């Protein structure tokens, strides 16, 4: 017969850390917490800066009918990925990108290739 669980026994807190010891009441300072987050925040702000640059650049160099159908721009490992909202707009965008690909590559030295993909509105990249 199985043992019955103990009831109303206050042995102390049941919360334990991964090492098995009780959690300490030591709190981290805000400065320490922000210092841990800095590398991640730096990467996010850098990516946002790249996206803003490319969105502005594409708006200046592509027809308005095409820029209204862009759903995202991402720079990954030397490749500029431009997202269109549907396969039809993606095909049209590819033709325009082929015409200005040399200008795109010259706009930023780190970019070596350009691809166009489909990303419907509301979807997350």
Specify the number of domains making up the chain: 1
Q: What is the pLDDT of residues 80-89, one digit of tens each?
A: 999 999 999 9
As a whole number, mean pLDDT of residues 84-95 equals: 95
Any idea what the CATH number is for the domain that residue 84 is in? 3.30.300
Domain assignment present for 3: no
Which region holds residue 78: left if phi is over 0, alpha if psi is between -120 and 50, else beta?
Answer: left
Domain assignment present for 114: yes
As a whole number, mean pLDDT of residues 42-47 equals: 78
Domain span holding position 82: 30-118
Q: What is the mean pLDDT of the chain?
A: 82
Q: What is the pLDDT of residues 13-26, one digit of tens each?
A: 555 555 555 555 56
Q: Give the H or E element holding residue 90.
A: helix 87-107
């Amino acid at each position: 017969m199985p043992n019955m669980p103990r009831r109303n026994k206050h042995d102390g807190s049941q919360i334990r850390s991964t090492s098995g010891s009780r959690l300490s009441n030591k709190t981290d300072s805000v400065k320490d917490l922000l210092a841990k987050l800095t590398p991640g925040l730096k990467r996010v702000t850098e990516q946002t800066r790249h996206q803003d640059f490319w969105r502005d650049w594409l708006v200046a160099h592509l027809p308005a009918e095409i820029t209204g159908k862009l759903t995202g721009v991402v720079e990954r490992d030397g490749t500029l990925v431009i997202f269109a909202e549907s396969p039809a707009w993606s095909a049209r965008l590819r033709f325009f990108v082929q015409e200005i690909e040399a200008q795109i590559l010259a706009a930023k030295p780190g970019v070596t290739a350009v691809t166009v993909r489909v990303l419907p509105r509301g979807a997350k990249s």
